């Protein structure tokens, strides 16, 4: 249950941080996160392009500048 909840939370946080990013056909940013995906014991990662876009969106949030 904790793994599934963490994956749903990660998906929703990415949507909060970078709402302009579209859903993906599969993986963490899929439109639907099925039972098999949510409970799979393997690690889940974002592809490089999506990870970079999320980091850039996070850095651009107001009030997150160094020292803020």
Pull the structure tokens for residue 23.
């859903």
DSSP string, 44-63: ----HHHHHHHHHHHHTSTT
* The pLDDT of residue 61: 78
Distance CA 62, CA 55 (A): 14
Residue indicated by tokens 């909840």: 5
Three-class DSSP category at 12: helix
Q: What is the pLDDT of residues 10-68, one digit of tens each?
A: 999 999 988 888 898 888 999 999 999 999 998 888 877 888 988 898 888 776 655 54
* The pLDDT of residue 64: 64
* The pLDDT of residue 8: 95
* The pLDDT of residue 11: 93
From the CB of residue 29, how many other CB atoms can be counted at a distance below 10 Å? 20
* The pLDDT of residue 63: 65
């Amino acid at each position: 249950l904790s793994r599934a909840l963490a994956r749903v939370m990660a998906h929703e946080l990415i949507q909060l941080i970078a709402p302009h990013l579209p859903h993906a056909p599969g993986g963490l940013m899929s439109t639907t996160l099925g039972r098999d995906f949510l409970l799979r014991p393997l690690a889940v990662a974002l592809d490089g392009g999506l990870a970079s876009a999320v980091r850039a969106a996070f850095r651009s949030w107001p009030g997150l500048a160094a020292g803020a």
